[in-house]
A and B are shown apart, each in its own frame.
Chain A
Amino acid sequence: MNKFFQKYLAFVLVYVLALLPVLNWVRLESLSLRFVNLSATMTSLGQLTGLVGMTLFSISLLLSGRFRFLDSWFFGLNRVYDQHHKIGAIAFILLLFHPLLLAFRYLTFSVRSAALFLLGNDLSVVYGVIALLLMILLMVLTFYIKLKYPHWKISHKFMVLVFVFAILHSFFIYSDIARDPWLRFYILALAILGLLVGTYRAFFNKYINRDYDYIVKAVTPLSSNTVSIKLEPQGRALSFQAGQFVFVRFKSRGLSTESHPFSICSGPEEPVVKSLGDYTEKLTKLQPGELASVEGPFGKFSYRQAVHKQQIWLAGGVGITPFVSMAKDLNKSGHKVDLYYCVNEQAEAVLLKELMEIAKDNKNFRVFAWCSNDKGRINVEAIVYSSGDVLNKDIFLCGPEPFMVGLRQQFLKLKVPKQQIHWERFNFL
């Protein structure tokens, strides 16, 4: 129960934060007046969408902070980012309807007044129009135009600018925020926090941080999209649990100064990180001796948090990386684990050899390779066939979204309790 409470506390907190201004808005004026007729109702809904949209926008920025405490509150940074996406998208939808609902009142006069209103009939409205149009542009880039990650990341930084205009709009416009000191203070506090966090994350994190300094020892390409980088600490060393990941920023010419997520693939003694995607190609040009700053560790994907010591690990393609780290950590803990390494074809299973080595020394750790080109997609029947009973085992999933969702549903169908199924998305950004 306590764990359940903990698990949902952060989620509840987010929605309470968003709901508080609504309650205050209700207190400000009687609802019968606010919803007395169609025109007033539209105006009221317009005010609400603005109020809640702005609150959620602030919260979304707060969640973009990549703070360690958020990682533990939300049980994993990927869940923080999930919420960041979800809340950001809800805020965006609400803010899209905000001007439309408010324009209704003008429409009862004339279409022209509504048109003028939508274009900004006052400086404070113009701020809002600029913010919304810019937000639309950035959201279109996010949702529909698949930019390469580094380009998208730069584009997404402009959200802070959107937010600045949104704040100007909120505080210069005549509204309940202007009228009620409590609401004013609340929205302002949340907005300033959001702005600070957003600005820090987008622009200043590079210069002000508590990252760990590391030096590149060796760079080994494992396949066309996987590279293993061995790092050595300079001064403070990161302490992490097997299964966690870090963000690394390489201080090398020819590489962007943005940080990228890396899985830790080694035992706790010396971090070896592995990366994927088109960034990998550039990483192969890294030279030993170059500097790296490491932020983290993040993630709550650990076999130690499981209910049972008998476990099934399921990796889809590149999702194998956290399991390598966990496998190396296994020896001393008395766990009994079956790892299924699912790839399309044998050549993609770049870490299979390494895993086989580990399995050789640990009779409680078995590795099954599964190539879907030969055997079709892996399913629960195949797992039950090799591993026997699954009901009293913890299931760990890491891989592409459809892979995890599909398998999770199959396990639930077999009545495996929810809390025994753990998953982590690999490409969560």
Chain B
Amino acid sequence: MKKFVTIALFIFWAVFTAVLTAGLVFYQNQQQQLVGGNNLAVPTAGQASKEANTKTQLVLDVAEIGKHKTLSDCWLIIGGKVYNVSTYLSQHPGGAGTIEPYCGQEATNAFQTKDIGRPHSSFASDLLKNYYVGNLNQAINQAAPAATGGSQAQTPAKTPAAAPSSQTAPTSASGNQTPITLNMTELAKHNSSKDCWLLISGKIYNVTSFLFAHPGGAGTITPYCGQEATRAFQTKDIGRPHSGSAVSMLASYYVGNLNQTTTQQQVQTNIQNTNAVQPAARGFEDD
């Protein structure tokens, strides 16, 4: 028995140290890349002036957050952090209505107590991280001026599944009114776990924010990111279809039809609208 314990201990420490070391090194590299790419929260003066043409700074103060107070554009302050939960509203098990009164406002207490004195599950807290925008009063770079581009702020890709960053299209630097065609080329750009679009039955869906919540694990979806996934969706790769609730959930991630020409702004609105109209399709406890 001692032999097995020794082997298990050895494997544990080997993997544990490897992952931690790699994770830390990787993070530092990523940090440096972020600094280089001017995506970090507070750029140096030189960088800021260089980028001034295309990017403006957005300070996440109470006034700014107050602007995002509708169902289709809903930001919350929870524990000093700002979250854009617009795309999530329809999925809230308690219904979008319970969140709506807090849109554009401080919601820490509401989140912690659900207004009934009981906390959210840790899974819910995990999910919330997906919608992180920045810290309160933090200055973040915005891809396009708030006046023209609505409210989608570029997030400082903090969490690996930072969904909102993908919802602002990567081409956003050129302005949200730029027409884009939802063709295979455009689809193929969204091919990572941080930005994942799927083509299912001629329709394009942005499922980035759902990846982590997928009961079969995100790993089952990621191979299809940026690709045709009709068959995979219909058969789950095991010859069995998704449930009706899964099909209706999918609708809430609708971006547009294949080869449809649209604008960045339209894409955003589509995502938000479908979310807002959809009935609460899934709860936290579905996973």
Which of A16-24, A110-118, A297-305 has 4 or more CB atoms under 8 Å from chain B?
A110-118
Q: Which residues of A contact B27 (CB under 8 A)?
A: 112, 115
- Are A32 and B160 touching (Cβ within 8 A)? no
Main secondary structure of the interface of B (DSSP, over half): helix
User: With the chains together, A108 CA to B217 CA distance in Å?
Assistant: 10
User: With the chains together, A40 CA to B126 CA distance in Å?
Assistant: 19
Q: Which residues of A contact B30 (CB under 8 A)?
A: 112
- Are B122 and A105 touching (Cβ within 8 A)? no
- Are A36 and B220 touching (Cβ within 8 A)? yes
Least CB separation from B6: chain A residue: A143
Known: A97-B8, A114-B23. A174 touches B123 (CB 8 A): yes
- Are A40 and B121 touching (Cβ within 8 A)? no
Fill in one digit per residue for B82-119: 1 if any A CB lies within 8 Å of its CB, else 0: 00000000000000000000000000000000000000
- Are A108 and B218 touching (Cβ within 8 A)? yes
Q: Which residues of A contact B125 (CB under 8 A)?
A: 122
- Most chain B CB neighbours (cut-off 10 Å) among A37, A125, A173: A37
Kindly count the residue-residue contacts between A and B in the assembled complex, taking CB atoms under 8 Å apart: 118
Fill in one digit per residue for A27-41: 1 if any B CB lies within 8 Å of its CB, else 0: 000001100111110
* Pick from B8, B16, B159: contact of A93, CB under 8 Å: B8
* Pick from A36, A43, A115, A172: contact of B23, CB under 8 Å: A115
* Pick from B19, B219, B285: contact of A115, CB under 8 Å: B19
- Are A37 and B19 touching (Cβ within 8 A)? no
- Are A37 and B237 touching (Cβ within 8 A)? yes
- Are B219 and A112 touching (Cβ within 8 A)? no
- Are B15 and A111 touching (Cβ within 8 A)? no
User: With the chains together, A174 CA to B121 CA distance in Å?
Assistant: 7
- Are B11 and A100 touching (Cβ within 8 A)? yes
Q: State how many angstroms separate the Cβ of B234 from the closest Cβ of chain A.
A: 14
Known: A32-B240, A37-B237, A97-B8. A111 touches B218 (CB 8 A): no
Known: A100-B15, A110-B160, A115-B20. A37 touches B219 (CB 8 A): yes
User: With the chains together, A124 CA to B126 CA distance in Å?
Assistant: 11
Task: Kindly identify, within residues 249 to 284 of chain B, every residue whose CB is under 8 Å from any CB belonging to chain A.
Answer: none
User: With the chains together, A108 CA to B160 CA distance in Å?
Assistant: 11
Given contact pairs A36-B216, A112-B27, a sample of 17 additional A-B residue pairs in the complex whose CB atoms are under 8 Å apart? A36-B238, A37-B217, A38-B219, A89-B1, A89-B2, A96-B8, A96-B9, A96-B11, A105-B217, A108-B193, A108-B217, A112-B30, A118-B20, A139-B5, A143-B5, A174-B287, A179-B285
Interface, chain A (partner B; CB < 8 A): 32-33, 36-40, 43, 85-86, 89, 92-93, 96-97, 99-100, 103, 105-116, 118-119, 121-125, 136, 139-140, 143, 172-174, 178-179
